[in-house]
Structure 1
Amino acid sequence: MKKILMPTDFSTNSINALKYAVSLFKDEECTFYLLNTFTPVLYDTEYILYSTTQPGLEEIYRENSVKGLQKVKKRITSKDKNPKHHFELISAFNLLIEEIKDQVKEKNIDLVVMGTQGATGAQEVLMGTNTVQAIKKVKCPILAIPSEYEYTNPDNILFPTDYELDYSSQQLQLLKDIIKNYDSRLNILHVLTKEELSPEKEQNKKKLATQMDSVKHQFYSKEKQALTEAIYDFQNEHPTDMLVMINNKHSFFENLLFRPVINKIGFHIKVPFLVIPSGKYSS
């Protein structure tokens, strides 16, 4: 049974992300943990003083949090009668990213699904601060859903890679599950910075091919082009229903998402974006 953590602030974006996850895993046994975190507005230094004279403040916030979670659950389950899906509610007095890390470790979560925040253009969505922080700090696959994205089966999946990793079965298992469930096609994209791959990268490419030999896949390469441009161009040239990347620190991924300029303008995500951490999960 898959364990899926769904942080929600009760916004349209977060509920849309939950709807996507419910649809994506409609044929699998899943427990969806709906998480809402809260801290009083006067948290910081003032909260300590204020809470001594208002001992019920935290209880009021928790009550509102629980009611909000119950409404979200009712909204989803009223339409999703799937007997394979189970829902649990978590209301926590904590900062969001810290609580996500705690829940991932405590419950051995398989996937965290989050909605992105705010459209910056007709087809562009700004990656929210919480999503970026979760990708950086949470050792668990993160699936980010663009706001207002309408569910489409992931028939075509784009997987940009620099072949820096010795791909493990654990890293690729969730991706392979999705591909097998939908008979998806995996398009593996590499941006060439040199004419030839190093022997190590060539070996990693061969290992990736072996890992994916049971699913439909094809390798592509683009020469001397910025990674973001290569991704955008590929999506314009080929049908793409999901973008998948492995978060390998000190690699092209870190440069792509975490440079100041990228943080400022956002990463232009048009489709659901699955980020898989390198190394061990849930630690």
Structure 2
Amino acid sequence: MKKILVPCDFSDAAIHAFRFAIDVAAMSGGEILLLHVVETPVSADTILMPTLYFEQEMLDDLKAAANVKFKALKDKWLKNSDVHVSTFVEYGDVNYTLHQYVTKKKADLIIMGTKGATGAKEFFVGSNTEKVVRKSKVPVIAIKQYVKPASIRSIVFPTGLQKEKDPLIMNVKQLQDFFSAELHLVYVNTPAIFRSDIHTRKALKDFKARYMLKNTTTAIWNDIDYSSGIIHYAHEIGADMVAMATHGRRGLNHLLVGSVAEDVVNHIDYPIWTIVEK
């Protein structure tokens, strides 16, 4: 968590994410890359060759306005902090630009605000955060409301009890260590994929031992579907964060199958840490 990229559209959710990022960077000795992306319209001169068109004067005005807002944010929230914050204004598609910046600036974490998405919008479009979660090359922490990182002491880590890939487990253990938190390993039983408690308890115990998880509880939760189970279990134990992998499904496969991590991001109120499992 040394180079934290924070997308900023100056909404309340984005400001919550910026404040959280300041605190995380202060704890890690890291820096923040604060990025505002102006989405430019597309003018289709021909069907096959669409071109981007925007008056340069208007672009300059938008950039100047963004820089004024950046200064106001820094003046307000960095008064008593030594965290270094660099600001950037770019033009184009938000998600594409964000992923390009991760590579260009060698960011190792994205912290971004989310308002979530519901109903038809969620099914057909999804929130910007959900799209970033699906494709990000680095872990993403999605924030709806500001919380102090020091208050994160309980992290839910759902597992399907398959053999998880080592990078995922390593990242989750590092996350747990960073926040000095208790990890809650949970298996969600659903009508569609059901297994007996006696076998599941043993599997959870073996999983915990295999990956040498410390300060970790295990639990089985029964629910109507996997996403609901994670959300309800996290609420039940008063968790402060959920950590999970996403498989980054795209296109028709995503619409038909969906992604549990993306569903949880859209429907839970406290920080969600996600990573694309490759």
Q: TM-score, normalised by structure 2?
A: 0.77
| 1:65 and 2:69 aligned | no
Q: 1:23 corresponds to which residue?
A: 23
Is the Cα contact below 8 Å between 1:114 and 1:144 reproduced in 2? yes
Distance 1:49 1:155 in 2: 47
Residues 48 and 183 of structure 1, relative CA distance in 2, 3 Å threshold: closer
Is the Cα contact below 8 Å between 2:25 and 2:31 reproduced in 1? no
Q: 1:90 corresponds to which residue?
A: 88
Task: Give the partner amino acid of 1:21.
Answer: A
Distance 2:142 2:244 in 1: 12
Superposed CA deviations along residues 231-282 of structure 1, whole A, max 9, x for unmatched, are 2331232120001111125699944366xxx69xx83212111111112xxx
Distance 2:8 2:105 in 1: 18
- Between the aligned residues of both structures, percent identity stands at 22
Of the candidates 154, 171, 180, which is equivalent to residue 183 of structure 1? 180
**CA deviation after TM superposition for structure 1 residue 31, in Å:** 1.2
Q: TM-score, normalised by structure 1?
A: 0.76
Is the Cα contact below 8 Å between 1:113 and 1:145 reproduced in 2? yes
Is the Cα contact below 8 Å between 1:117 and 1:128 reproduced in 2? no
SS in 2 for 1:267: helix
Residues 49 and 118 of structure 1, relative CA distance in 2, 3 Å threshold: closer
Q: 2:237 corresponds to which residue?
A: 238
Q: How many residues align?
A: 256
Distance 1:119 1:39 in 2: 20
Q: 1:220 corresponds to which residue?
A: 219
Superposed CA deviations along residues 195-215 of structure 1, whole A, max 9, x for unmatched, are 369x9xx989846644343x3
Q: Mapping of 1:152-167 within 5 angstroms?
A: 153-167=151-165
Superposed CA deviations along residues 22-67 of structure 1, whole A, max 9, x for unmatched, are 2234321111000001134x5434896974xx44222222222222
Gaps of 5+ in 1: 121-126
Task: Give the partner amino acid of 1:39.
Answer: E
Q: 1:123 corresponds to which residue?
A: none
Q: 2:33 corresponds to which residue?
A: 33
Distance 2:159 2:272 in 1: 14
Distance 1:39 1:225 in 2: 39
**CA deviation after TM superposition for structure 1 residue 74, in Å:** 2.4
Q: Mapping of 1:43-62 within 5 angstroms?
A: 43-45=42-44, 51=54, 54-62=55-63
Of the candidates 137, 140, 145, which is equivalent to residue 139 of structure 1? 137
Is the Cα contact below 8 Å between 2:154 and 2:184 reproduced in 1? yes
Distance 1:56 1:278 in 2: 43
Residues 164 and 278 of structure 1, relative CA distance in 2, 3 Å threshold: same
Residues 203 and 249 of structure 1, relative CA distance in 2, 3 Å threshold: farther
Task: Give the partner amino acid of 2:106.
Answer: N
Task: Give the partner amino acid of 1:9.
Answer: D
**CA deviation after TM superposition for structure 1 residue 70, in Å:** 2.5
Task: Give the partner amino acid of 1:7.
Answer: P
**CA deviation after TM superposition for structure 1 residue 116, in Å:** 1.1
SS in 1 for 2:231: helix
Distance 2:277 2:117 in 1: 29
Q: 1:5 corresponds to which residue?
A: 5
Is the Cα contact below 8 Å between 1:38 and 1:65 reproduced in 2? no
Task: Give the partner amino acid of 1:155.
Answer: R
SS in 1 for 2:267: coil
**CA deviation after TM superposition for structure 1 residue 156, in Å:** 0.5
**CA deviation after TM superposition for structure 1 residue 78, in Å:** 1.4
**CA deviation after TM superposition for structure 1 residue 167, in Å:** 2.3
Distance 2:186 2:19 in 1: 29
Task: Give the partner amino acid of 1:96.
Answer: V
